[in-house]
Chains A and B, each alone.
Chain A
């Protein structure tokens, strides 16, 4: 069951949008990071159930952060939320272990769908 969500995006506006699309009635604990480096650090610190990761960020981009998180925790559930919707980008993030890609502008339906899939994945991980 999802309890903690980590939102990694350098744009304050984008983080607001993403948070507004996350259902408020499920009691999720939402944490934030403003770039990939902080995102990796926060991941290690709080062990979120799902990470929503932007790609184009300063300091460390989302692609590298995704790699580092997956190297740290191969079961990490990372959903990439990005404006970069080139096929090669999608292919690259999926090959690095992202669960799925949500295209910006984010919608409530897309986030709900992502959280549903994340929930399924986590349940699958927890099966003996």
Chain B
């Protein structure tokens, strides 16, 4: 019988992680606002701990409000390693693309709208995921590298990560930030899924982060 290794994260550790995520996403929003003329309305990040195999259903529930979605999916490595998933309703990509649309390219060619949307999502994902995860790592004294992003546009709202990704023996932490773009009918979610092998390090790093203030 496979035993379930439930790694506890205490209430204090959850609070610290929430504050770390808050700071990191604030930085990410500011970075995005410097690139495109947009104002990101921030919400309080949510931290959930659950059985790893419950993650796909949990994510599906979160995004079920959208009929179709666009996803930026990126893995990151360091002592803090895991997966970042940026989810937008399908039209958000088109909305954001208009903010970056500078007209024809140097050759006088208008970019294909689908390509423009894809490029925009790549850029936005790069900034939000890169800045957010990078700032989490910085606050916890780690260095991160990233995989190239995987972009999916106009997908049916469904399981964003396959269930077999997760080890049934482990628990998982889901870090969720909901954000909206002011004056734009757009917004989305950023999910961070730290790898269960990071948990031990993460717990220590959170306490080390707080120790500087004690």
* A interface residues (Cβ-Cβ under 8 A, vs B): 10-14, 16-17, 20-21, 56-58, 82-89, 104-105
Which residue of B has the minimal Cβ distance to A12? Answer: B15
* 10 further contact pairs, Cβ within 8 A, besides A11-B19, A56-B42: A13-B12, A16-B213, A17-B19, A57-B44, A85-B27, A86-B40, A87-B30, A87-B33, A87-B34, A104-B23
Are the CB atoms of B15 and A84 closer together than 8 Å?
no
Which residue of A has the minimal Cβ distance to B29? Answer: A86
B191 within 8 A of A: no
Interface centre among B24, B43, B44 (most CB of A within 10 A): B44
B144 within 8 A of A: no
Whole-angstrom distance between the Cβ of B42 and the nearest chain A Cβ: 5
Q: A13 with B33: in contact, given A20-B214, A56-B44, A84-B26 (CB under 8 Å)? A: no
Can you pick out 26 interface pairs between chain A and chain B where the beta carbons lie within 8 Å of each other? A11-B15, A13-B15, A13-B18, A13-B210, A14-B19, A21-B213, A82-B26, A83-B23, A83-B24, A83-B27, A83-B42, A84-B29, A84-B30, A85-B27, A85-B29, A85-B30, A86-B26, A86-B39, A87-B30, A87-B33, A87-B34, A88-B39, A104-B22, A104-B23, A105-B23, A105-B139
* B interface residues (Cβ-Cβ under 8 A, vs A): 12, 15-16, 18-19, 22-27, 29-30, 33-34, 39-40, 42-44, 139, 210, 213-214
A26 to B18, CA, bound (A): 31
A16 to B18, CA, bound (A): 14
A13 to B29, CA, bound (A): 22
What residues of chain B lie closer than 8 Å to A13, measured between beta carbons? 12, 15-16, 18-19, 210
Which residue of A has the minimal Cβ distance to B40? Answer: A86
Which residue of A has the minimal Cβ distance to B27? Answer: A85
Which residue of B has the minimal Cβ distance to A57? Answer: B44
Interface centre among A13, A14, A58 (most CB of B within 10 A): A13
Whole-angstrom distance between the Cβ of A115 and the nearest chain B Cβ: 17
One of A83, A86, A87, A89 near B22 (C-beta < 8 A): A83
What residues of chain B lie closer than 8 Å to A104, measured between beta carbons? 19, 22-23, 26
What residues of chain A lie closer than 8 Å to B42, measured between beta carbons? 56, 83-84
Whole-angstrom distance between the Cβ of A7 and the nearest chain B Cβ: 14
Whole-angstrom distance between the Cβ of A8 and the nearest chain B Cβ: 14
What residues of chain A lie closer than 8 Å to B24, measured between beta carbons? 83
Are the CB atoms of A11 and B139 closer together than 8 Å?
no
Interface centre among B12, B25, B27, B34 (most CB of A within 10 A): B27
A55 to B27, CA, bound (A): 14
A118 to B199, CA, bound (A): 42
Which residue of A has the minimal Cβ distance to B15? Answer: A13
A106 to B45, CA, bound (A): 18
Whole-angstrom distance between the Cβ of A34 and the nearest chain B Cβ: 12
A85 to B39, CA, bound (A): 11
A16 to B16, CA, bound (A): 10
A83 to B29, CA, bound (A): 10
Whole-angstrom distance between the Cβ of A120 and the nearest chain B Cβ: 26
Whole-angstrom distance between the Cβ of B85 and the nearest chain A Cβ: 21
A16 to B214, CA, bound (A): 9
What residues of chain B lie closer than 8 Å to A82, measured between beta carbons? 26
Are the CB atoms of B23 and A56 closer together than 8 Å?
no
